[in-house]
Structure 1
Amino acid sequence: MTRTRRGPAAGATGRGRAGRLGSAPSVDPDLARELLDGLAEAVLIADSVGQVLLVNATASALLPELHPGVALPGSPVTMLSQAYATGADDVEGEHRDRRLRGIRRPLAGDRSAWYVRDVTDDHLRAEALRTERGRTDFLAQAGRRLGLALQREQALQAAATLPVPYLADLALVVYLPSGTVEYQPQWIRHSGHGSTPALGAAGWDAVSAVPGLVEALDGETGVPRPWPVTERGGAGPLIPDDLDPAATLLVSPMPGAGRTAGALVLVRTGARDGFDRRDVELVREFAARAGAALATAQLYDAQIHLARVLQNSLLPPGLPAVGGVRLAGGYRAAGDSLRIGGDFYDVLPTDGGALFALGDVSGKGVGAAVLTGRVRQSLQTLRLVEHRPRELLALLDRALLDIPDATRRGQFTTLLLGALHPEPDGGLRVRVAGGGHPAPLLVDAAGTVTPVQVGGMPVGAVPGARFDEAEIRLRPGELLLARTDGVTEARGGPHGTEMFGERRLHRALVEVAGSSPSALVDRVLRLVDEWCGGHRHDDVAMLAVGPAGHG
């Protein structure tokens, strides 16, 4: 099929370009002017030297300085004047407190048209979006850092340093330390000068000299206000003397858990604007997060203090000197910085010898440590009436079962309980009773490792439990090692998942055969630490005994 290309109709030559000003003299100029006046953009048409030929209605309103006959080069509209000087076709700038954007397009006859648009509102919206994103990013960063502040000093430093310089030129946090007798306000201040914030204590006169600070400590919110230098008398040492005389002050409470954790004081110098409504909202939100972090850190500090008290009472004690016996103990808590757990050992001197105990309470952490303390205290008391290991285990079992289950929560312990009796010929007779605990290991001077089977049931688990015992005699150069299963079950190695195991333990004992109890314990602990490589592990406790004066 043949297609016929349609050309212009007869008598219509040139009509196809009637839309270009001046290219079709037959177009009514008034009609072209009406079309231009209907545009939302400002339109200016200029000749080759930049003299204005035509402006539409929008241009007249937006750029009243420009009208036909005015030359754009050197005109009061700086952005267009500079465009002619530089040859730019796309410009943006400020004019009459408005932000304008202009684009130049060439026309026939060496003329050009400038299309100018008021982008003030677009710019304000974009700036508001950037500001809001900045606020969101600030709160996100602050939340991350405050969330990692587990100690009070860390939380206070984060609360004082994060606002500078984003929120203020100076930030001051005033708080009342809990548990102090003097109840004196403490403070930390950061101004961005130097890497270390200043801190100290202040009297109530200095606190009262900062407008709104006492009220903020009581939980009341304030509003931004100018703070001229003439009103700052008595505020030292909270506020430095060289602070800008023209400053704006904003004080906000820092809500905590049930009470105000402190107060945040922000100061903006005269070099920047004061706090607007959105700034105040952001400061309130930050102060709330900082207060929550400070309250959490104070609670954590209280728990640390409690744990340290427990630690002092529950950590394995120093071993006593027992005539005719050499002793060594080792302990590792289950990857817990508090260093308290459910594994324990103890040695209690008796007439002519000693009792030793090594056990593993079910569970971990503070709960297991509390039961550990009960077991040790019960042994301290019961050994006054009974020295025989198996009979003593039975008494301990009854004592633990008498503890209300709501308090004990079904916990029990595995235990080795032994009686040590030095002999005149330098040997050591050991009678060991077992309560469901791994068998102790006998290591002779030649490097032979032999488990001593004692069996028995866990202590405090079920009524009527049966306990077994065994008796051995250690000759000079021989050692008996009691340990918890945390030794063999410690996971590590190349992939961090393989257990240390009985074979590695036996091999380590062979390497130190004939040495002292302390050398044996140190060697095993070092190998377990290297095996775990810093990974978490279960509690580890061990106790080595042998005849005195040998190995």
Structure 2
Amino acid sequence: MTTTRQPRDTPLPADAPLARELLDGLAEAVLTTDETGRVTLLNAMAVRLLPEVAVGTELSRCPVAALAHAVTSDADRFDADHHGRRLRGARRRLVGHRFVWYVRDVTEEHDRSDALRAERARTAFLGEAGNRLGTSLHRDEVLRATTTLAVPYLADVAVVLPRPATSAEPHGRWTRHADGEPTPTSGPAPATLTSTVPVLAEALAGDLTEPVPWQDGAFTDLATMLPPGFGAPGAVLVCPMPGADGSAGALLLVRRTGRAGFDEREIELAREFAARAGAALATADLHGEQAHLARVLQASLLPPELPAVPGVTVAGGYRAAGDTLRIGGDFYEVFPHPRGALFALGDVCGRGVSAAVLTGRVRQSLQTLRLVEQRPLELIHLLNRALFDAPDAARRSQFTTLLLGSLDRGPTGVDVRIAGGGHPAPLLVTTDGTVTSVPVGGTAVGALTAARFAETRVHLDPGDLLLAYTDGVTEARGPRDAEMFGEARLRAALGSAAGQPPAALIDLVLQEVDDWLDGQAHDDIAMLAVRASVPS
């Protein structure tokens, strides 16, 4: 039996029941055109998606503008929004200048793509907000970052009303950024603002937990915070900015008339953004309070400006281990009295703030005790007892090494009495450059209730200099083999600077120690130089 095969390019008859059933069962629209561009066939999905198109319709003039434009421009694809649906079509050429169009409903696919792009944009926005707000530790920086981030992504104008920091500004100040403005601006908030803008008072008080949108409100006082010529707001979103202990402020997002209002996703995004901004603002306020406290403590703990003492020239040098607060455990003091002066130089055990606290205690105790006792050995015993009598003495294990001396002017120079509490011996530098140690001895102050302290005496002829220093000088370690600066290098530096003013000598020693360290970390350093005046 002989079988005749139909050529592959021979189409099935359009009215064949099987062909029609197959075409109507497709999930995409199919329509064909003849040589003149008129529709010759539509399947069921084509009738559903393109009800304006019928057999005989000339596609170049059909009501679907995107499809008509594709036909006239001889394009093989088109995208169109039609009857609330997103359509995407592709054309395939058939024999005899005929064409077939395949049209798909990609509405859901398009919506998913839009949702994905929106989510990516939301994630990118919150990521940038987290980076900028997380690195802003100053109040003004947070306010500027909050307003500039929100515009134009969330609104045309963003206004932040932080909770007033002081009672001096009961209504606070606003910070605003508008689309088109180069930088944020600020100004005082009107006294009646909270009564004219709905729920703003609740947001500032911490009673509002979710953003509240307002459309076409008559916000008279809000206009004073908007750019000139902005006009009436089309939509306003009041967002609470929660802080650590209540409200940190309120964020107002303002859109122009004609721009769509805030939908649910935008309100949720604004809520999350305002929460991050509130946390950053609360952190900045806390940082500001701590910085102010640190400055106050720093001013009280830094070495004082040395007073003038008749008959001698004094100079001090100080370098804290690390420059964060510039306070540490090394200290010096000079207390003038009618016959000369008392001086102290010490090194508290430890570093940083904890050492600085004990430093302050020692200095305050000396300030008080010197009023009743000015003999160095007796005074150091009183100081030791005072440290053990402190309320937290049983809980601490801190102590200080100390040199405590008195300067008494005489007819041929200065007599010096020095009491020691476990501190490195001071060095005597004579006018001829000779450097000798002045041993003192003793145990650390505050370490033992029955501590033993020692005392020695030395005479300074005119031009002689006595240098007291902490072990941060001699124990400074260089970058090579961690070798210490050592007393020998210190002596050499002092001998080369003999005859120079005390301040110049201390600067020289600090410079040589810095050169030796070559940028390495170091311990606290303190020095006090006393030189007997040369008669004029």
Q: What TM-score does the superposition give when structure 1 sets the normalisation length?
A: 0.86
Three-state SS of the structure 1 residue aligned to 2:371 is coil
The verdict on how the C-alpha distance between 1:338 and 1:180 changes in structure 2, with shifts beyond 3 A counting, is farther
Which residue pairs with 1:540 in the alignment? 525
* Partner amino acid, structure 2, of 1:520: L
Where do 1:206-221 residues align within 5 Å?
A: 206-219=193-206, 220=208, 221=210
Contact 2:211 2:270 in 1 (8 A): no
Matches within 5 A, 1:40-439: 40-181=27-168, 183-219=170-206, 220=208, 221-228=210-217, 231-235=218-222, 237-240=224-227, 242-405=229-392, 409-426=396-413, 428-439=414-425
Gaps of 5+ in 1: 1-8
**Is 2:81–2:87's contact at 8 Å kept on the other side of the alignment?**
yes
- Aligned twin of 2:509: 524
Partners of 1:213 and 1:257 lie apart in 2 by: 19
Compared with structure 1, are the counterparts of its residues 142 and 349 closer, same or farther at alpha carbon in structure 2 (3 Å cutoff)? same
The verdict on how the C-alpha distance between 1:499 and 1:31 changes in structure 2, with shifts beyond 3 A counting, is farther
Offset of 1:461 from its aligned partner?
Answer: 2.3
Query: Which deviates more from structure 2 when the two are superposed, residues 525-534 or residues 340-349?
Result: 525-534
- Give the C-alpha shift of residue 451 in structure 1: 4.5
Which whole-Å CA distance do the structure 2 matches of 1:39 and 1:112 have between them? 18
Query: 1:4 maps to what in 2?
Result: none
Aligned mates of 1:305, 1:260 — CA distance in 2: 22
User: Quick one: distance in 2 between partners of 1:172 and 1:43?
Assistant: 54
Pair 1:401–1:122, CA change in 2 (3 A) = same
Q: Is contact 1:382-1:395 (8 Å) kept?
A: yes
Deviates more, 1:531-540 or 1:463-472: 531-540
Opposite residue 499 of structure 2, the aligned amino acid is: G
Matched residue type, 2:114: E
Give the unaligned 5+ runs of structure 2.
none
Deviation at 1:519, TM superposition (A): 0.8
Q: Distance in 1 between matches of 2:478 and 2:88?
A: 66
Letter in 2 for 1:264: L
Residues 281, 422 of structure 1: CA spacing in aligned structure 2 closer, same or farther, 3 A cutoff?
A: same
Instruction: Output one character per residue of 1:122-147: Cα deviation in whole Å (capped at 9) or x when no partner.
Output: 11111111112212222221122222
Moved more, 294-303 or 85-94: 85-94
> 1:445/1:406 Cα in 2 relative to 1: closer, same or farther (>3 Å)?
closer
Contact 1:206 1:236 in 2 (8 A): no
What is the identity, as a one-letter code, of the residue corresponding to 2:299?
N
Q: CA deviation at 1:10?
A: 4.9
Displacement, 1:41? 1.5
Pick closer, same or farther for the CA change 1:145–1:222 going to 2, 3 Å. closer
Residue-by-residue CA offset, 1:444-501 (whole Å, 9 max, x unaligned): 44555544443433221233333334433334444332233444556786x9x96773
Tell me whether 1:473 sits opposite 2:428 in the alignment.
Answer: no
Distance 1:384 1:218, change over 3 A: closer
CA distance in structure 2 between the partners assigned to 1:58 and 1:450 by the alignment: 107
Does residue 13 in structure 1 map to residue 5 in structure 2?
A: yes
In structure 2, give the amino acid aligned to 1:223.
Answer: V
RMSD: 3.1
- CA deviations on 1:331-386 (whole Å, 9 max, x unpaired) are 23443444433221101123422221112223344433332221012112222343
In 1: Cα distance, 2:395 partner to 2:469 partner = 24
Contact 1:14 1:24 in 2 (8 A): no
Distance 2:23 2:462 in 1: 114
Cα 1:58–1:216 change in 2 (3 A) is same
Q: Is the 1:207–1:235 Cα contact (8 Å) retained in structure 2? A: no
Moved more, 250-259 or 456-465: 456-465
Residue 110 (structure 1) shift: 4.1
Query: Structure 2: how far apart are the matches of 1:531 and 1:265?
Result: 57
- TM-fit CA distance, 1:249: 0.8
- 1:549 aligned to 2:527? no
Mapped to 1, the partners of 2:184 and 2:387 lie a distance apart of 53
Partner of 1:37: 24
Q: CA 1:196 to 1:455, structure 2 compared with 1: closer, same or farther past 3 Å? A: farther
1:501 correspondence with 2:497: no
Q: 1:374 to 1:271 in 2, by over 3 A?
A: same
Whether 1:454 and 2:454 are equivalent positions in the alignment is: no
The CA deviation at 1:531 is 6.8
- CA gap of 1:441–1:82, structure 2 versus 1, over 3 A, is farther
Matched to 2:216, the amino acid is: W
**Which deviates the most, 461-470 or 267-276?**
461-470
How far does the alpha carbon of each residue in 1:413-454 deviate from its partner, in whole angstroms, 9 at most, with x for none?
22222222333223x333333323334334444555544443
Call closer, same or farther: CA 1:182–1:99 in 2, change over 3 Å.
closer
Contact in 2 for aligned 1:440/1:483 (Cα 8 Å): yes
Residues 181-240 of structure 1 deviation map (CA, whole Å, 9 limit, x = unaligned)? 452322222213433322222342133222221121122245211134xx2334453344
Q: Is the 2:387–2:393 Cα contact (8 Å) retained in structure 1?
A: no
Q: Distance in 1 between matches of 2:374 and 2:246?
A: 54
Cα offsets for 1:19-45 (capped at 9, x unmatched): x5x3467x9832122112111112222
Measured in 2, the distance between the counterparts of 1:73 and 1:525 equals 90
For residues 339 and 301 of structure 1, the distance between their equivalents in structure 2, rounded to whole angstroms, comes to: 18
